[in-house]
Amino acid sequence: MDRKNIFILLNGAVSVALVAVLLHMVGLEEVLGQLARMDFLLLFISILSLFGMDLVMAFRIKLLLDDMKAGIRFTDILRSHFVGMLLADFTPSRTGYFATVAAMRYNYGVPSDKALLSIFGPQMFDFIFKVVAGSIAILYIIFVFIGPGQGLVLIAGAFAISAIILLMLLIMFSRRFLALFSFARGLPVISRLYDVVVRMQDSSHVVVRKTPHILALIMVSWVFRSLSWYFAAKSVGITLGTEFPEVLFYFFLQPLVTMLEFVPSPTIAGLGLSESGTTLVFSLFGIAGAQAATFALIVRFKSTLLHLLAVPEALRVPQGLNEKQK
């Protein structure tokens, strides 16, 4: 077994341990009881809302690819997007989403640089939005509930995503930054990736031109994702007593939890860490631990359940790779 597989297994073990500790603390029997009483109609609406978010995310990819004359159908982009979303649930910091690039390249013949840019551009704006919305949520929690000097993990998440945004900006627009890694041209496999990124920069003006469209679509996808979380919470009977409309809570909870998924930690896509953080946030609003933990686990695994539809598409990628190499 190589180091990469060992690393993934260790991350998986840590995630399972964190979830086990969480379930022990809130009570496994109480969580099972919540699941038994779940409203499956509301859960179905939650999954439909999540699918709405997927449609919007796929559409913003198509927006950029059409501008670059890539020539791929929307349904094929959606299938590739599902591959990325599925693998994101099983990779550290959700980096598996970039498998969307491989699916479009090897299953549908989209040039790697164009496929990469269609993911990189929207994701960069998505991260910027999450930092803004998540930071507002962090400040609210710190000053209303836990006081200054606390919430270091939440702040670390904000800094982690900010660093990723800066890196993405440099990779997408800075020739000087890429020149620092020009030595990669002499390395067997990495040289190909380096050349793809250089070609991607040649088309980066497309992202600038489509910025207003991308931002508008991010707002729409934010609504769908927040509604998905709202109905998931309602499916387990969670009702919050807030001075603002309850649904707005989920508009800011999702970016906040995403930050936890990007905190550098030996976990699988923040599994265990983000669920514990979600349970803690709900506890500040008087929600029982078992209810909150059940919600957090449902949010995690309903996404995986929906995107399991991508398994046949994901299995086609190695076949397409082999055909390209012949």
Query: Domain limits of the chain?
Result: 3-318
Cα distances (Å, whole numbers) of residue 193 to 190, 254, 270, 292: 5, 32, 27, 42
What is the reported pLDDT for 262? 65
Q: Are 247 and 228 in contact (CB under 8 A)?
A: no
Phi-psi region of 89 (alpha: psi -120 to 50; beta: other; left: phi over 0): alpha
Tell me if 250 sits within 8 A of 233, measured CB to CB. Answer: yes
Task: Pick the closest to residue 305 from 22, 19, 40, 93 (CA basis).
Answer: 40
Q: Which residues contact 256 (CB under 8 A, 6 or more apart)?
A: 133, 134, 137, 138, 154, 277, 281
DSSP category for residue 71: -
Assess whether pLDDT exceeds 60 at residue 45.
yes
pTM for the structure as a whole: 0.86
260 near 7, Cβ under 8 Å?
no
- State residue 302's pLDDT score: 93
256/147 Cα distance (integer angstroms) = 17
pLDDT one-digit tens code per residue, 126-176: 988 888 888 888 888 877 776 665 556 667 767 777 888 888 888 888 888
